[in-house]
Structure 1
């Protein structure tokens, strides 16, 4: 837990000194007849559970409480820590299991992705009941007044990142971050992911204060 001199910082926050690692990228022929993006020194940990290559970022040492050290850069999410909490449905603040007796809580800001249907696509990992208000207050992306989604179903959808291809300088970006790329899309073969996305389908929007009261009732 944070000490009085060490304020709470969301686990997913990138810290000063954590920098993008040299990309070391190559495009290699695959058995499907297409080129696939790889690291020259690729490790199994460089890919998520769906096989998409992940952007590398260094890690600062951990403190005595197991939390990352370094000045927080609150506007940035560490790619791996974002993916780890999103993939395992862990709280973005403390990494405990995020599911509550009422469902999974996701907070969305004004710029979050929404489709043409009632589905919501979010890059924000869930929050646990204990840190619901904390996440709403600390995350600059949410603007202090987030939309609160209480979801019963939130399957993995895909990733955001950068599409690579062959150019005059060799392997280089050909498309910068845009809408999330769904898992299974043909472009994932040449995609370097930086954030994982979940799709909310069975959900309802709720008032933050009302939800906090309901959670207290269920825990009492």
Structure 2
């Protein structure tokens, strides 16, 4: 539903846990820890958000690998589209620990097909969220796009967040395949 005076979107039956401390509306998801099978392209909303906030491994939920070169990230290789890649890149994929990075490169179909970079980033501030952006509709909000939105962007009031997003800075490529 739309909030009065074009103030954004809300759930009709919104509860306290639907928004974070910044007032961002988050997608709802059920939790069944330890159940199910991995869906590589679709990390669970709550798991992704916790892993990004606390810099936990996206696979095992233990601490991400960190050394003097920075925190370990495994990302699809987009160097041919962006010469400075991955400097300044927005990421919704949480970091990894070293053992899980090796497992992920062998088991994730997208990483095998497109190639990937294993990088370390010394800085990785939280940027905002990724999710479905809505606009005012005649009766209810209408979905428009799905893209990252910074916390200071007014569009965040019209975004149903599904992922926390960080910016990678001071990156070092460890390996590419």
Which category describes the TM-score, using the shorter chain as reference length?
0.7 to 0.9
In the other structure, the counterpart of 1:104 is 71
Render the CA deviation track for 1:43-69: whole Å, top value 9, x for unaligned.
Answer: 332223433111112223x3xxxx2x1
Following superposition of structure 1 onto structure 2, how do residues 78-97 of structure 1 map, counting pairs within 5 Å? 78-97=44-63
In the other structure, the counterpart of 1:151 is 121
TM-score w.r.t. the length of structure 2 is 0.83
Which of the pair has more CA radius of gyration?
A: 1
In the other structure, the counterpart of 2:38 is 72
Number of matched pairs: 173
Matched, 1:203 2:171: yes
Task: Decide whether the 8 Å contact of 1:150 with 1:203 is kept in 2.
Answer: yes
Q: What SS class does the counterpart of residue 77 from structure 1 fall into?
A: coil
Gap regions ≥5 residues in structure 1: 1-25, 210-220
Q: Could you say if the C-alpha distance between residues 114 and 183 of structure 1 is closer, same or farther in structure 2, counting changes exceeding 3 Å?
A: farther
In the other structure, the counterpart of 1:128 is 97
In the other structure, the counterpart of 1:59 is 31
Render the CA deviation track for 1:101-133: whole Å, top value 9, x for unaligned.
Answer: 342111111469969883111111000123221
In the other structure, the counterpart of 1:167 is 137
Q: What SS class does the counterpart of residue 73 from structure 1 fall into?
A: coil
Q: What RMSD over aligned residues (CA atoms) do the two structures have, in Å? A: 2.7
